[in-house]
Structure 1
Amino acid sequence: MRSAVKLAVALLLGSLIVVAVYRADGDKAAPTAVKASPPVVSAQPSPSLRAAEAAKVQTPAKKKPRKPVAQAQPAARKKSKRTVSLTFDDGPSPYTPKILNILRRHRVKATFCLLGANVGDYRKTARRIVREGHRVCNHSRNHADFTTLSRSAARANVRKAQRKIRNVTGRSPKTFRFPYGASNSVTRAVVRGEGLRILGWTVDTRDWQGPPAAVITRRAVRDVRPGAVVLMHDGGGERGPTVASLDRTIRKLKAKGYTFVLA
């Protein structure tokens, strides 16, 4: 009797489970659908959720643009740098110490193109040029016109001046400036063969003509450009106007934003 009751209950329960899993359209669910396991939540997001996530990926938040940093452009900074080199030819002479005093007062360094023949007569001044941080340049032994010299004569002239400057000052020049700026392919080859860089100029104050100090200053300041090399003289004649012009020339160049570098 008990066995019959248990069998009837089992059949009834089976019928209820089958009825419960019928689909809404009347189809039967697969038999595996009746497995008594906990409901599984799908790991796949809904279409609307996928669209929202895709929108987030495709449209990142806009960042505020950064202002360009000028320091990150060294090339541009170099172009805007205003430098000038002051150079003095034909010394040393009695005027050179006065020029050195003005340069020291303004804390400006310059390049002195020395004649070998003068260095021996003004040893103390030549040594002072080096001691105070200025640069020495070979300007030949005796201010000869190098376009009239043979290869051997040009070489001897350069070497004698080089040796004299080195013996007196303890410093070997690395540059050479031709007297009068006069040279040819032969003499230029000689100078370069001695390991010297040829130094020219871009601004000629023509102080050797003896103009007033105001004219020398006006020429130097008017014609200067960034990177300019200014030609003046501390020897070779009356250089009082050059000395008198130098203080005002330096002040005006500084007022225009120039800094002074060695040539």
Structure 2
Amino acid sequence: MPAPHATGGLLLIGAMAGFSLSDALVQLAGSGLQAVHLAWLRYALLLLSALPLLIRNPALARSRRPGVQMLRAAGLVGSAVLFLQGLKSLPIADATALVFVSPLYVTLLSALLLREPVGLWRNLPVMLGFAGVLIVAQPGGAGFNAAMLYPMLSSMAWAAAVICTRLLSGADSATTTMLYSAALGVVALSPALATADTAAVAARWPWLLAMALAWCLAQWMTILAYRLAPPGAIAPFSYSQMLWAAILGWLLFGQVPSARTALGMSVIALSGVMAAWMARRALKP
């Protein structure tokens, strides 16, 4: 693997660890706060981290497709709030695994909205990943928890944001997109602050700050990773988030993934590796 690809892969693995750490801190310190308040903290810190770039280059605030930027931000905010709501009732590993059904929704929306060709060969890893999600969720089975619907709905909102990201390709820079997502996220979530438990925030602010900081750093590491290496080369490393989630859930809360969850996570990760391999083969002359 070329050096930039290796660096990008390591950065993406680190980003996935950051996301999982942030989620673990939500369960550790965010039990008394609503999901919208936790999401606001994340987006507020992300916006603060991006403001120096805007001050240096005000042109970053101009978007060629502001409407699409707003739709993308709405999808991301909805995804974040739904996932955080799910974390209140689910082990971290289960919630994380269920979110990885998003490639299925991305494929379906790509076919419906972008008219991208969808064949059986391309759908194979997507369907395999969906099978892994069904193993974890066990709909209709004794292991099913209604809270599992939150991360699954979160993945739908995330897929909508991914489609918007594709529509923005070539129109706006990654930094402009990050600025819009952070700013619109703060604006959309700020009205909910009227119902925030200020006493709970004051009592837990070091943990909540660490939660938002881990998420913010993970966002920037993800951007840097994909600037250094093409998605097809490093995308499978994003599935390391499931491993990080399982490790942190076990270390911090004694949440040992069940055999069903471990099997489902393995199937989901295999589907991601397969999809990346197929994408690389398609790019070869």
TM-score by length of 2: 0.25
Name the one with the larger strand percent: 1
Name the one with the larger helix percent: 2
TM-score by length of 1: 0.26
Q: Which has the larger radius of gyration?
A: 1
Q: Which structure has more RCO (C-alpha within 8 Å, separation ≥ 6)? A: 2
